Amino acid sequence: MAKNRIQFVCQQCGYATPKWLGKCPECGTWDSFVEEPIVPANSRTFLDTGEKAVPTTISKVTKTKVKRIATHIGEFDRVLGGGIVPGSLILLAGAPGIGKSTIALDVGMKVAGTGEKVLYVSGEESEAQTAMRAERLGEASDNLLIMTATELTGILLQAKNLKPRLLVIDSIQTMYTNRLETAAGSVGQVRECTAELLRFAKETNIAVIIIGHVTKDGNIAGPRLLEHMVDVVLQFEGERSYAFRVLRAIKNRFGSTEESGIFSMEEAGLKEIINPSGLFLDKKENVVPGSAITAVMEGNRPILTEIQALVSRTPFGLPRRTAVGIDFNRINMFLAVLEKRVGMNFGMQDAYVCAVGGIKVSEPAADLAIVAALVSSFRNVALPLGCLCLGEVGLTGEMRPVSAVERRIKEAAKLGFSKFIVPQNSLKKESYDLKGVSQVGTVEEALRIIFKE
């Protein structure tokens, strides 16, 4: 039975097998298996509070335990659902260089600023580097302690002595425990270290933030495997060449996953953007052909976004279609719909479409704006000033209702918009008489109203 002390583990998805395989049967990755020792099950993920568990009433527990730690970074607190829950394990995942260390250190500094002790452990950067970053972020209180280490048992010993309110581990891929012989960053180490941190957090009631790297496709060993173990998974996203970053809760045992926080990366660290609308609007005085504005939902908040299109005669036989920040296949679909339902011929036209500012537009609510931008460029006629396009476009050219139409309209109205094209059946009865709103049933009808034919 106990002969097989080792196993082969897929570093992509964690699939384990007693024999080496070239291709993972679970996730289909090639050459992803690495030899790892088998950890005895009894020393693994189970919660061990050191004493016999005793049943208790809910009222007793909530009174003593749940008082959230406010980080005083409004956007961060909001995403968490009102601050960090003591004893919770939070995974902060994101692509390399996106700003994970920056925001984690900032949180640490802010919490320390309120008089609570914080321990920030980096396995990637020296104390000097961390101190340098802290300097950029502002005044550091003496309640913030930094340490460079990678051996987890030693770190937890220090943390036990220090008894901070918050422990930050940067990053989980650099940590290792002596109990396993594999290298730091392997699936086994990442899992075991997280399990140990989970035990530590629950035992001591110290909140722990662990940073985890993911690649662009969001799929490497580590974070994905840990999602079920931790209380909260925060994903930090953004295009590296643009300043804005979005913090999202993918999983939250203590709050909604609807909320998201928006930041911009600046010299002095990450700055919250409290009012994100307008961030993705190219501010220009006069309206030019090929531009249409829509409102996409980022969590619960509508963000006004400009869609730009350029349609021009193709110099070669084969027309080119390019999309940035928008699904390429949808562009082809819209061109086909316009051809069939509205009678416009794009057969000899190149078409380029982009969402301004590097935002990714995946919501169908932006469909009408994309279509309007294409038509506007094709006809070389600008949309009227202050016009907001909302609605999903179906294959038959029908306009489909989208969610939160009132909220999107309200946000746009705040910024001076006065003309709103929305799909029929998406407004609540009581908002039928909203000023400047046109409800449309088909794309054709929408275009007629927009371009005043």
Ligand X SMILES: Nc1ncnc2c1ncn2[C@@H]1O[C@H](COP(=O)(O)OP(=O)(O)OP(=O)(O)O)[C@@H](O)[C@H]1O
Instruction: Compute the distance between CA of residue 212 and CA of residue 424 in angstroms, rounded to an integer.
Output: 44
With CB under 5 to 8 Å by kind, the binding choice for 98 among Mg ion, Zn ion, ligand X, none is ligand X
Instruction: Based on the shown chain and the rule CB under 6 A, indicate whether residue 267 belongs to the binding site for ligand X.
Output: yes
Instruction: Based on the shown chain and the rule CB under 6 A, indicate whether residue 99 belongs to the binding site for ligand X.
Output: yes
Binder of ligand X out of 40, 97, 317, 343 (CB under 6 A): 97
Least distance to Zn ion, CB of residue 225, Å = 10
> Is the CB of 220 or the CB of 297 nearer to ligand X?
220
Q: How many residues bind ligand X (CB under 6 A)?
A: 13
How would you classify residue 342: left for phi > 0, otherwise alpha for psi between -120 and 50, otherwise beta? alpha
Q: Tell me the DSSP string of 202-257.
A: HHH--EEEEEEE--TTS-STTHHHHTTTSSEEEEEE--TTSSEEEEEEEEETTS-S
Residue 263 has a CB neighbour count (10 Å cut-off) of 25
Residues in 192-221 at the binding interface with ligand X, rule: CB under 6 A: 213
Residue 172 has a CB neighbour count (10 Å cut-off) of 27
Whether 204 and 195 have beta carbons less than 8 Å apart is answered as: no
Least distance to ligand X, CB of residue 37, Å = 28
Part of the chain binding Mg ion (CB under 5 A), chosen from 98-106, 297-305, 312-320, 435-443: 98-106
> Is the CB of 169 or the CB of 373 nearer to Mg ion?
169
Binder of Zn ion out of 9, 13, 79, 373 (CB under 5 A): 13
With CB under 5 to 8 Å by kind, the binding choice for 443 among Zn ion, ligand X, Mg ion, none is none
Binder of Zn ion out of 7, 8, 9, 24 (CB under 5 A): 24
> Is the CB of 167 or the CB of 292 nearer to Mg ion?
167
Least distance to ligand X, CB of residue 136, Å = 6
Instruction: Based on the shown chain and the rule CB under 5 A, indicate whether residue 92 belongs to the binding site for Zn ion.
Output: no
SS3 (DSSP) at 373: helix
Instruction: Based on the shown chain and the rule CB under 6 A, indicate whether residue 108 belongs to the binding site for ligand X.
Output: no
Least distance to Mg ion, CB of residue 120, Å = 11
> Is the CB of 26 or the CB of 203 nearer to Zn ion?
26
Give φ, ψ of 368 to 5 degrees.
-60, -35
With CB under 5 to 8 Å by kind, the binding choice for 265 among Zn ion, Mg ion, ligand X, none is ligand X
Give φ, ψ of 353 to 5 degrees.
-135, 135
Instruction: Based on the shown chain and the rule CB under 6 A, indicate whether residue 98 belongs to the binding site for ligand X.
Output: yes
Tokens of 240: 């590296």
Part of the chain binding Mg ion (CB under 5 A), chosen from 9-17, 101-109, 137-145, 382-390: 101-109
Whether 423 and 388 have beta carbons less than 8 Å apart is answered as: no
Least distance to Mg ion, CB of residue 165, Å = 22
Instruction: Compute the distance between CA of residue 310 and CA of residue 360 in angstroms, rounded to an integer.
Output: 18
Least distance to Mg ion, CB of residue 100, Å = 5
With CB under 5 to 8 Å by kind, the binding choice for 11 among ligand X, Zn ion, Mg ion, none is none
Instruction: Compute the distance between CA of residue 152 and CA of residue 136 in angstroms, rounded to an integer.
Output: 28
SS3 (DSSP) at 309: strand
> Is the CB of 194 or the CB of 277 nearer to ligand X?
194
> Is the CB of 188 or the CB of 397 nearer to Zn ion?
188
C-alpha torsion sign, points 254, 259, 265, 267: negative
Instruction: Based on the shown chain and the rule CB under 6 A, indicate whether residue 101 belongs to the binding site for ligand X.
Output: yes
Part of the chain binding Zn ion (CB under 5 A), chosen from 6-14, 137-145, 203-211, 241-249: 6-14
Residues in 121-140 at the binding interface with ligand X, rule: CB under 6 A: 124, 136
Instruction: Based on the shown chain and the rule CB under 5 A, indicate whether residue 101 belongs to the binding site for Mg ion.
Output: yes
Instruction: Compute the distance between CA of residue 131 and CA of residue 127 in angstroms, rounded to an integer.
Output: 6
Which strands sit side by side in the sheet containing 33-37, from one edge to the other?
Answer: 16-17, 6-10, 33-37
How would you classify residue 206: left for phi > 0, otherwise alpha for psi between -120 and 50, otherwise beta? beta
State the DSSP code for 258.
Answer: S
Residues in 393-422 at the binding interface with ligand X, rule: CB under 6 A: none
Instruction: Compute the distance between CA of residue 419 and CA of residue 131 in angstroms, rounded to an integer.
Output: 51
Give φ, ψ of 379 to 5 degrees.
-90, -5
Centroid of chain to Cα 422: 28
Binder of ligand X out of 32, 76, 78, 100 (CB under 6 A): 100
Q: Tell me the DSSP string of 389-422.
A: E--EE-TTSBEEP-S-HHHHHHHHHHTT--EEEE
Part of the chain binding ligand X (CB under 6 A), chosen from 53-61, 98-106, 247-255, 324-332: 98-106
With CB under 5 to 8 Å by kind, the binding choice for 279 among Mg ion, ligand X, Zn ion, none is none
Least distance to ligand X, CB of residue 359, Å = 18
Residue numbers at the binding site for Zn ion (CB under 5 A): 10, 12-13, 15, 24, 26-27
The residues of the shown chain that bind Mg ion, judged by CB under 5 A, are: 101
**Residues contributing to the site for ligand X (CB under 6 A):** 94, 96-102, 124, 136, 213, 265, 267
